[in-house]
Structure 1
Amino acid sequence: MGLGAGRPAATRGVLARVSTAVVVAGVLGLAGACAGGGGGGEGGQGRLAVGLLLPGGGASRFGQFDRPLIEQRVEELCPRCPAVAVAATPDPAVQRQQLESMITRGVDVLIIAAIDPKLLRPSVEAAHRAGIPVVAYDRLAQGPVAGYVTFDGAEVGRLQAEALLQAMAARGKGEQIVMMNGATSDPNAGWFKEGSLAVLKGTAVKIGKSYDTVGWRPENAFVNMRGAVAALGGGSIDGVLAANDSLAGAVISALNATEVRPLPPVTGQDADLAAVQRIVRGEQYMTVYKPFKPAADAAVDMAVALGQGRPVGSIATRTVDSATTEDIPSVLLPSVAVTVGNIKDTVVKDGMYTIDQVCPPRLRSACDKAGLTG
């Protein structure tokens, strides 16, 4: 049985707003030295070019973690290959142009973290017609996808909801929450939401307000949270289920701006450094840590195998259905809930952050209290 990915909302008029765009085609030039990498098979004679499209660079999670880990895996498989060049943008229309540019350049396989899976579908179909397999990374693209690597979104939502219920029970308050969900254009957002609702169903908790945050933009979450406080009253909000750490940060800013005290427990996802520091300060209750290295490794392994014409059955652990394609070979990885009590045993132990990064001088007192010592 595959796992349905939902039906993202249509995005209209986006291409019309981007008449000119600088398109950077991220191409990983994998030479014949990569033959046998990933799945351990043979083949892959000559040059193998892998196109990489990420929805953000720089300070984003994709820029900080996914990109260097993908580069590292490529280096492991092919030490003499050129350095990874990444096409990264938060704009779905630009990403579609980047993908089409890669097709024109004749890459052999694509790794894509789709910003808007529905908008990108015609380009994924064009890649398929050109004989270029597509590995969907983190987010399930629509169209004839050949492989998929992500974290179990239902588990992410369950971890968030379970942690929120625990935090509210510890405070003796658990009547009403606000849900700050992700963008409806991202199928993962619906997946997280479904996982959370499965836990909340049957409890006494009332969802006072639920928002789908357009574009996953923090500024939209900030406005929505202020609206929730105005409509419900700050004192009646016992918890906020925020879908990721960027939204959590905006929620906390809005609560502070409206002088809600004490702050209710707030969830998150991605284990951003700022979020981990908010957890130390007591502003954010939890985040979901997704070990990115296994995901990056699996995506590169799958891409190399597909580019060499080899099956990915030894890499995939199950199949998943998208809105358009059934039985996509997939890897769904587990996640971990992080609270103040297990920061040292999770993100620090795994080398994601050092104690010094989590605990700058201004947080030393709070870190000492949390048992976070160097």
Structure 2
Amino acid sequence: MNALTRRMVVGTAVVSMAFTLAACGKAGDDKNSDGSKSKGKVIGLLLPDTVTARYERFDRPLIQAKIKELCADCTVDYANAGQDATKQAQQVSSMIARGVKVLIVDPQDAVGIKSSVQAAVDKGIKVVAYDRLAQGPVSAYVSYDNEKVGELQGQALLDALGAKATPKSKIVMINGDDADPNAAQFKAGAHHVLDGKVDIAYEQSGLWKDTVANQKVTAAITSIGKNNIAAVYSANDTMAGGIATALRGQGIHVPLTGQDADLAAIQRILVGDQTATVYKAYKPEADATAEIAVDLLNGKDFSSVADSTSTSGSGNKVPSKLLTAASVTKANIQETVVKDGLYTAAQICTEEFAQACKAAGVQ
């Protein structure tokens, strides 16, 4: 490489770096990686993973958009933990160093993040727990009534089983990650509906991962016998995808639940690979969170939004907004996720699913 070429390459790299740094200043990017202080009205947003489809597709853009609508001069500083609790703790530390004023966090580990929440609060940062209730002195919490979500899931299984729902009917139960307090609430709600009406013959955590859920259900099939499984409870749609693959591979067709109304889950429901999901409309949850965050930023009262109270695992009484979810089956896809604009019929009814959409009245 001659001198002129080297100068051109270096110059191009500098320009490229300048554009990259400029892009980092936009709302939603993980900016100021050098640890420098952010200036002005900055709200941090930390989400737990990219495996669950909802976070990057819905939660992040909806929260960012509502904050900008409410506060035109606000900046949203975003990072994702990638299912790594240690990484999320580091992200909290980074946002503290950068001077965010309010921090919205969906904890990867609600217990483990307690010290990080305390560290933020000690620096005068207001913390809003999003979707999962973090331990520690958080200012507010926005989510859904998670025990009722579990009840919806359990009832969907019973409804699908019909007369086959007996105390001898063997059910496989794949719960969420124990580090997520919501998982325990989903589980409790489902047990409330299912206990005594069916036999929970195998119960394990799938860690919110499709691969782990697949492995657990495969083990359950070996343990119980493929002809003895009446239904499978899956705490969310990501795991339901792995479970559906395992069941299909063994030629087993039984009711299967889920949660989050993922697009792939809606399509599985259409063709009968999944029975039901739970639809938690993302926009009301995101909007309420953004409203509270902006109110906290501006020192305003937010009790009109957070109209109830929750108690965290650390005993903190937290002003809360708890929304109501809905069960989705093949019969009401059109009236729920399509009507609400979560997905268009065109997004759902690709060529592979066109016939099933027609039969279900999705249009």
1:295 and 2:285 equivalent? yes
Q: Kindly indicate whether the alpha-carbon contact (under 8 Å) linking 1:181 and 1:189 is maintained by their aligned counterparts in 2.
A: yes
- Kept after mapping to 2: 8 A contact 1:154/1:191: yes
1:225 to 199, 217, 224: 217
Question: Partner of 1:98 in structure 2?
Answer: 91
CA distance in structure 1 between the aligned counterparts of 2:237 and 2:324, rounded to whole angstroms: 18
Q: Provide the TM-score with structure 1 as the length reference.
A: 0.84
Map of 2:149 onto structure 1? 156
Unaligned runs of 5+ in 1: 1-23, 30-45
How far is the alpha carbon of 1:346 from its aligned partner?
0.3
Helix, strand or coil at the partner of 1:268:
coil
Aligned twin of 1:234:
226
Q: Percent sequence identity over matched residues?
A: 44
Aligned residue pairs total: 329
Residue identity opposite 2:243 in structure 1: V
Aligned to 2:4: none
**Does residue 1:274 correspond to 2:264, yes or no?**
yes
Q: Find the partner of 2:61 among 41, 65, 68.
A: 68
**What per-residue deviation string (whole Å, max 9, x for no partner) do you get for residues 240-278 of structure 1?**
110000111111111122232xx1000000000000000
The amino acid across from 1:359 in the alignment is: C
Name the counterpart of 1:40. Answer: none
Shift of 1:106: 1.2
**Hey, which of these two has a bigger chunk of helix by percent?**
2
Sort the Cα spacing of 1:276 and 1:202 in 2 relative to 1 into closer, same or farther, 3 A. same
Amino acid at match of 1:86: Y
SS of the aligned residue for 2:330 comes to coil
Q: CA deviation at 1:310?
A: 2.3
Is 2:272 the partner of 1:252? no
Local SS of the residue matching 1:238: strand
User: C-alpha offsets along residues 32-53 of structure 1, whole Å, 9 cap, x if unaligned?
Assistant: xxxxxxxxxxxxxx93211110
Deviation of 1:170 (Å): 5.8
Q: TM-score, normalised by structure 2?
A: 0.86
CA gap of 1:119–1:345, structure 2 versus 1, over 3 A, is same
Name the CA distance, whole Å, in 1 between partners of 2:317 and 2:51.
34
Kindly report which structure 2 residues correspond to 1:69-218, keeping only aligned pairs within 5 A, or say none.
69-82=62-75, 84-90=76-82, 91-169=84-162, 175-203=169-197, 205-214=198-207, 216-218=208-210
Q: Secondary structure at the match of 1:240?
A: strand
Distance 2:142 2:121 in 1: 18
Larger Rg computed on CA atoms: 2
Cα 1:101–1:333 shift into 2, 3 Å: same
Question: 1:92 Cα shift?
Answer: 1.1
Question: Closer, same or farther in 2 for the Cα pair 1:304/1:238, shift >3 Å?
Answer: same
CA drift at 1:167: 0.3
User: CA–CA distance in 2 between the matches of 1:103 and 1:85?
Assistant: 11
Deviations 1:334-370, CA, capped at 9 Å, x for gaps: 0000000000000000000011111101111111111
CA RMSD of aligned residues (A): 2.0
Runs of 4 or more consecutive aligned structure 1 residues displaced over 4 Å after TM superposition: 24-29, 170-174
Asked whether 1:350 is paired with 2:340, we answer yes
Q: Secondary structure at the match of 1:118?
A: coil
